[in-house]
Amino acid sequence: MGGCEMNKSIIRKRTKMLAKGIAMQSILRLVFVIAIQYITTMLLSNLVTQLAFRYFPEAFVRFGPYLLHYVGVPLIIASNLLLIPIELGVTEYVLKLVRKQPARIADIFNWYSDGDKLRAGLSYFWFMTVLSVVTVPLVQLPLDYLAGALSDVQTELLRQAAEGVTEMVITPGIIDGNMILLSVGLVIIGFMVEVRFMAAAFIIADDPKKSGFAAGLQSWKFMRGHTWEYIVLILSFALWFLACFVTMFLIAIFFIPYFTVTQAIFAEYIRSDTGLADAKKPDIESDVIENDR
């Protein structure tokens, strides 16, 4: 068991080393294509959210302590119909860089025009819509509750500070400890579900003939035995995430491409299924990434 964990640690380090090298080699191109995706996503999501809350400010339904905006959430999900093609285009582009295949920036838009890719994107959209039915109650609603609870605590502490209170305390009744624990638990469960589908976009970007649901099922199977490995990989970037906040996201110019390439390499690794976890000297460069294909 100890040897297996040690080998996984080596795989994780080599994965990050390879990802860093690829990101540094293609940093300008990666920054450009990822910026297109992020800016498009941010603008469209903000537009949809603003429209929903401006014209339907009272469109909330309550589930216990949780509130769901029954107009905003469906609109955000529907907006994915426009965002998924560029997501898959960027995913395909990163995969080509990882495999050292020719990659053209203009090709990221082919998912809007190519018939097979457009159908694959639509299928992936329906898969993500079904997945959202699970993840919104498990992740989004509890996160909104936790954000609201944090805001209430902050408001209370600011009020006490304005009144000159020297020993500030959280007034009983402002937060519900049981609901906080329940919300955190639901977020963890939802995160675990999302992790199992992390490879779906890479699978369908690699083979547009697959349906979104087939790609999701394959991702679930491929992640069997690798779920915690992937979570540990994400946690190993904790200092990078912290550095993004400290530097007001300036370091994200390099970190986001680096992290994106790392995910692509990990997706290649779990799909290769070469048994590296049990090998004495794993070699991700030759076994996980099939550079000659």
Gap between the Cα atoms of 114 and 7, Å rounded: 42
Q: How far apart are CA 267 and CA 277, in angstroms?
A: 15
Distance CA 257, CA 28 (A): 10
Evaluate if residue 275 carries a pLDDT over 70.
no
Which of 12-16, 90-94, 135-139, 247-251 shows the highest mean pLDDT? 90-94
pLDDT band, very low/low/confident/very high, at 6 (cuts 50, 70, 90): low
Reference 109, options 76, 146, 83, 147; nearest CA is 83
- pLDDT tens digits, residue range 183-240? 999 999 999 999 999 999 999 999 999 999 999 999 999 999 899 999 999 999 999 9
pLDDT-above-90 percentage for the chain: 64
pLDDT for position 66 = 86
CB crowding 54-86: b at 16 or more within 10 Å, else e: eeeeeeeeeeeebebbebbbebbbebbeebbbb
Averaged over 98-103, what is the pLDDT? 94
pLDDT band at 68 (very low <50, low <70, confident <90, very high): confident
For the chain, percent of residues with pLDDT exceeding 70 = 91
Lowest mean pLDDT among 10-24, 57-71, 255-269, 276-290: 276-290
The per-residue pLDDT for 278 is: 38
pLDDT band at 102; cut points 50, 70, 90: very high
CA distance 207 to 195: 21
Q: Determine the Cα–Cα distance for residues 281 and 94; give it in Å rounded to an integer.
A: 27
Tell me whether strands 60-63 and 66-69 are parallel, antiparallel or unpaired. antiparallel
Q: pLDDT (tens digit, 9 = 90+) per residue, 224-272? A: 989 999 999 999 999 999 999 999 889 999 999 999 999 999 999 998 8
Beta bridge partners of 63: 66
At 156, the pLDDT band (50, 70, 90 cuts) reads confident
What average pLDDT does this structure show over 103-124?
Answer: 95
How much is the average pLDDT of 102-111? 95
Query: Quick one: pLDDT band at residue 161, thresholds 50, 70, 90?
Result: confident
Residues 241, 109, 84, 72, CA torsion sign: positive
- pLDDT for residue 290 is more than 80: no
**Which of 29-33, 142-146, 259-263, 289-293 has the weakest average pLDDT?**
289-293
pLDDT tens column, 116-127: 999 999 999 999
Res. 1: pLDDT tops 60: no
